[in-house]
Structure 1
């Protein structure tokens, strides 16, 4: 006959339990609490109150967010519920239970504190010898925005809808005046009128944003146009086609989301569907620790425009690396020159030597010739990567940065942002990277 350990759920405690004793000594919660204590109070955004109920301590709130994100809890309501149900969350929250509104507000308004905690964790990793800034890898991943792609509207459709709504609103206003004159039901028309006015206001805002972006892009492109035009005007004889001036009006097919205007329609590759998403960037240590050393978020599917700025942002935090590894999506001559000016050696893949699998199920493309490489810097980079030394270093890229995205998406479960607008999404991505680093350092220290 089997013997079982006796249990009694109604057994009362003579003394209150020590939650710390219910967690293993190497649990990640202890590391997060210690790391957050290093964040200065000046980094937090604390509202000034002259009376009323006392506030939760900002270090407690930050530790609660980091621990929750590291364990796959991203919703403020789920975090609030976990303060009652989860032992680890309850320990980090010191047996307190902040409501979901307080958690969401703290997450939105404390970007400086989250960035300071991110830097402190990296400094702690360097002090313990876990982080070395010799070789780093950079890559980007598409993460869904808190918006539906079906709320994305084209510029030409916005203009047509605005005209239609203006006519409908005028008709409803006439009906409302007639209803007032005949003393009929005053509750029927205002609701329909309010819905249309709200939609028209959103369309007006989206249209103005698209037009402002187009004008900004035209102003940025105007110096290059003036230079080309001067060269064209100086030619004699057969001149060819004149350079086209930049257009300050959005193209008809330019789209914008009415829910999150900063997000964009983008896809991972030609084989994937379009999603309303952001392009989240991460630079990862390629010398064993696999810690994220800096982050960025861009609202474009292209990686190259943010290549140099993302890497150089490390200069004011933990210092610049010696070598950076990047795939072919980061191939930009200007970015390579900017990095080399700072003493960084970029290794960027040129072309795709094996774009298709050896036994691909899809039929091969017809009459597709490989793209010719003509740029001098591209030819030099390609020749450099063919050497044994550079090739061995570059192989570290896919085995360092890509597993990090796999852990964040599959293990932590972060596949969709909870906040809207580029600034708030950037804060949340930094929080995700901070939670990952804490998770990773706790594992490295326990090993």
Structure 2
């Protein structure tokens, strides 16, 4: 015969068990061993075999179904239901259990708090296996779309425009009613506009409540589908999104901590993310590194005070703009620490003027000396003279900038991209995660924890092999 043909009706003398269909080196066995090693009491998932009433699906099997599904980009409850019925690896993992999509969705919804703790146990397991050293941590963030439409995002300006449009329509309806009444003085009106008028008034009330909510929260916008998400800007455009934060260990690129915030930028996240990662490590790291997006001196100072080496460039260092050609650049002004003033390139003194409390900086001005200077009009055209600001903690900024320029710090910073960007690339490209399925901070943090754990398990299998990881976890 020229070909080999399969026969789905072929009978075997001895029926095989489900376990016989899954090879010993199949990745699903590693996921099974990993989840069996977790402490479900610590996660907050109750395991009570003596519970009375209608029997529930085994929580351990349900968590296995979720984590294994997320590891291969299968996240929706309906797709997980399909895999549990037809995919042999899923059938093996759950022991033949076939929960429907409602049961899967309900389990995920009720155990969001427990799902957030999966990564913490995963990271501590990696520490125990000596895969995470905790010496150097890299911090970074990425934007992931929320499960909410941009159309449901409201700003003060949008509310005002909509209220103006509603008022115009209400006025138009009332005008039409008056016109009809004048034409049909002695007749019964067949035109009913009460319903539309009522709808417009209800809509106006709804928009007013949205406006009050925005003002109460003192925010620029709010989304009515998911109030926790914010409009964020990225390379892909502006979308209702969340900012996913990650702390990655330098040794093997494993994720130590994952978090989700609603801030549009990373500027105030450095200290909080390093502290959370150190809490997982049960010890302070030696070095913490991030890009210029985290260059808030106040945040960096919090970590530097703990004796942790901070490697974060300032925005000027990151941009690498050559300003030597500009004779009036801020860098050309020399600070006199003893007299608390600046000396301009022409030798004029810029004295202390006031403190900008918002920017936490002192402002120095040249005053009358600038108006008499031969470069007036080029250096500045302000009548009060050239102004130069200096942060209140500028000494810390200068120390951190000098540290970043050192050869060792440069070597650490070069490793940043290949370590901290890899997990985001795996999650977004390999697992095709372009948006969250759950809503609210608690929900998206649970999903982020699951996705980070998926990366860690995949990375552990790459480092130890499937059978090596299984045997290591069995010890």
**TM category, shorter:** 0.7 to 0.9
The answer to whether the Cα contact below 8 Å between 2:118 and 2:449 also exists between their aligned partners in 1 is no
Q: 1:280 aligns with which of 244, 249, 259?
A: 244
Distance 2:268 2:398 in 1: 21
Does 1:314 pair with 2:277?
A: yes
After superposition, the Cα gap between the structure-2 partners of 1:371 and 1:327, relative to the gap in structure 1 and judged at 3 Å, is: farther
Shift in Å at residue 13 of structure 1? 5.0
The answer to whether the Cα contact below 8 Å between 2:258 and 2:448 also exists between their aligned partners in 1 is yes
SS in structure 2 of the partner of residue 305 of structure 1: coil
Does 1:87 pair with 2:88?
A: yes
Shift in Å at residue 309 of structure 1? 0.9
After superposition, the Cα gap between the structure-2 partners of 1:312 and 1:194, relative to the gap in structure 1 and judged at 3 Å, is: farther
Map of 1:174-185 to 2, 5 A cutoff? none
What's the counterpart of residue 260 of structure 1? Answer: 226
After superposition, the Cα gap between the structure-2 partners of 1:72 and 1:384, relative to the gap in structure 1 and judged at 3 Å, is: same
Structure 2 gap segments, 5+ residues each: 178-187, 333-389, 467-475
Higher strand share: 2
The answer to whether the Cα contact below 8 Å between 2:70 and 2:454 also exists between their aligned partners in 1 is yes
Does 1:389 pair with 2:390?
A: no
Shift in Å at residue 308 of structure 1? 0.8
When structure 1 is superposed on structure 2, of 409-418 and 10-19 the one drifting more is 10-19
After superposition, the Cα gap between the structure-2 partners of 1:155 and 1:61, relative to the gap in structure 1 and judged at 3 Å, is: same
Distance 2:85 2:127 in 1: 35
SS in structure 2 of the partner of residue 35 of structure 1: helix
After superposition, the Cα gap between the structure-2 partners of 1:203 and 1:427, relative to the gap in structure 1 and judged at 3 Å, is: farther
Distance 2:405 2:4 in 1: 64
What's the counterpart of residue 363 of structure 1? Answer: none
Does 1:7 pair with 2:6?
A: yes
SS in structure 2 of the partner of residue 321 of structure 1: coil
What's the counterpart of residue 41 of structure 1? Answer: 41
SS in structure 2 of the partner of residue 311 of structure 1: helix
Distance 1:194 1:435 in 2: 52
What's the counterpart of residue 304 of structure 1? Answer: 267
Distance 1:379 1:20 in 2: 62
Does 1:29 pair with 2:28?
A: yes
The answer to whether the Cα contact below 8 Å between 1:39 and 1:113 also exists between their aligned partners in 2 is no
Shift in Å at residue 5 of structure 1? 3.6
Distance 2:156 2:273 in 1: 31
Map of 1:319-338 to 2, 5 A cutoff? 319=282, 320-338=284-302
Per-residue CA shift, 1:374-425, capped at 9, x if unaligned? 6433332222122212211221101100121111111111110111122211
The answer to whether the Cα contact below 8 Å between 1:26 and 1:442 also exists between their aligned partners in 2 is no
What's the counterpart of residue 242 of structure 1? Answer: none
Distance 1:194 1:83 in 2: 49
Larger Rg belongs to: 2
SS in structure 2 of the partner of residue 158 of structure 1: helix
What's the counterpart of residue 431 of structure 2? Answer: 412
Shift in Å at residue 18 of structure 1? 2.9
Structure 1 gap segments, 5+ residues each: 176-181, 215-249, 358-366
Map of 1:92-241 to 2, 5 A cutoff? 92-162=93-163, 203-214=207-218
TM-score, L = length of structure 2: 0.72
What's the counterpart of residue 219 of structure 1? Answer: none
What's the counterpart of residue 456 of structure 2? Answer: 437
Distance 2:138 2:259 in 1: 14
Per-residue CA shift, 1:73-114, capped at 9, x if unaligned? 111111111112222222222211111122122222213322
The answer to whether the Cα contact below 8 Å between 2:247 and 2:277 also exists between their aligned partners in 1 is no
Distance 2:97 2:201 in 1: 44
Greater relative contact order (Cα < 8 A, sep 6+): 1
TM-score, L = length of structure 1: 0.76
